[in-house]
Amino acid sequence: MTISDVARRLVVELIGSDLQVRIDLPDRSHMGPQDATTSVRLNSDDAVRYLLRSPGELGFARAYVSGELDIIGDIFEFLSMNRSVAGLRISPMALARILPLAGFDAIYKQPPIPPEEVRFGSVLTSHTRHRDEKAISHHYDVSNDFYQLVLGPSWTYSCAVFEDPTDTLETAQANKYELICRKLGLQPGMRLLDVGCGWGGMVMHAAENFGVEAVGVTISEQQSALARQRVREAGLEDRVEVRRQDYRDLAGEKGFDAISSIGMFEHVGERQLRDYFSILHALLPDGGRLLNHQIGRVPPIGPKHRFRKNTARVDPNGFVHRYVFPDGELHEIGDLIGDMQRIGFEVRHMESLREHYALTLRRWVRNLEHHWDEAVALSGEGRARVWRLYMAASAVMFESADLQVHQVLATRTPRLEGRSGFGLRPWWERTPLGARTTIDLREQAGQPDQRVETS
């Protein structure tokens, strides 16, 4: 049996026999429709070896990142067949049937692991300050120029908010910042903290449009340097400060009126959740608001999972952990809200933006593909391939509800007095996000609750 024959068996087990895309095998034969607009090409026998040695998403990712496998055409069409790369699985029994047919050479001649793959060690030592800094640097210090190609002029690496599917990415990202500012009830003279500030988009928007003073913190060296440059170029140095600082070093500071945390929470480990929320709670005065914007996982569903303890940790043997977000963790929204309230926050509002993230990711993939040669020159082909696969796969997972993203708005409500500072209904939904609102600033912050007596 040739290695292409083995590949045919693998394809059937991984994807199925009813193919909507063409599969080009190493011996130049093919499977699936000849006229398909999307094809997966196994460029060499090593592509098959990757799949044999690590059956499923990790082997597929290694073959793709190394260039031994190509996805030609619409990457979303291929990934949608399996609900993203995470759906590429092969059962142990099926693998046991295939391996004896593959032969010694196919099984034991292992191709090299791509250099883009990382392993930081045991999960028991994850989320120390040093290891968090390494994980953040792996993902965010690729190249600021590379990120600009992908993200566009907004320099914003989190879910945008679309009022219409035809909105540009820049409009939708500005909408997101506007929505968060409104939810936080920002007013001139207030002081905002943005945890995980990226390249400074949130602090700049809040200072320019809501008249606040803002502090942004990030532990990425490249992000902090460019964020400071952008602040200087915008003439906001008197109102915006960007620090290279771990959120844990904020403990004990005073003077913040509101806190935003946008797309940073995925780097907070499950064991650190209480400490994270405790620090943020202590930074706020009574009535101060926190907006936590984070990707979340879907809990296991069904009777057999009723008493199962859920884990937030990303599969340590999966593509995302090895190539994209080492030590990343996705927390279930119910667990997150419970932890917030146990610390002393009162959760006032939760909003799902799942469909919005799919739209955002599709635009990032389009930007990357449009600037492919430039991206490869800046980061290397392997790294560009990692980003194309991860962003396209994530878009498919948000579309199929296998991933979620939420904004959770909470306040440090003083006990006994019980005044939250919120009105009876959310005011931020009354005016389109693209329009500058003329609503009274007191109403932005929320009129004091009115006591209503009932009989």
- Alpha carbon of 6 to those of 9, 33, 110, 201: distances in Å? 5, 20, 16, 50
Task: Give the list of residues 6+ apart from residue 415 with CB closer than 8 angstroms, or none.
Answer: none
pLDDT classification of 306: cutoffs 50, 70, 90: low
Secondary structure element (H or E) that encloses residue 405, with its range: strand 403-411
Tell me how far apart the alpha carbons of residues 194 and 189 are, in angstroms, rounded to a whole number: 16
Q: How confident is the model at residue 440 (pLDDT cuts 50, 70, 90)?
A: very low
Strand locations in 208-278 (E): 213-218, 240-244, 258-262
What is the torsional sign of CA 80, 86, 88, 89? Answer: negative
Alpha helix positions (H), 344-380: 354-370, 372-379
Average confidence (pLDDT) over 278-305: 89
The dihedral built from the CA positions of residue 221, 222, 224 and 225, taken in this order, carries a sign that is positive
315 and 327 Cβ atoms separated by less than 8 Å: no
- Is residue 100 predicted with pLDDT exceeding 70? no
Interval 419-433: pLDDT, tens? 888 888 888 888 888
- Side-chain-side CA neighbours of residue 359 (13 Å): 18
pLDDT at 102 over 80: no
Q: Where are the beta strands (DSSP E) in 239-387?
A: 240-244, 258-262, 289-297, 346-352
CA–CA distance, 53 with 108 (Å, rounded to integer): 8
What residue ranges define each of the domains in the chain, with the CATH number in brackets?
3-108 (no CATH), 129-445 (3.40.50.150)
Ramachandran angles phi, psi of 368, nearest 5°: -65, -45
Structure tokens at 147: 């990120």
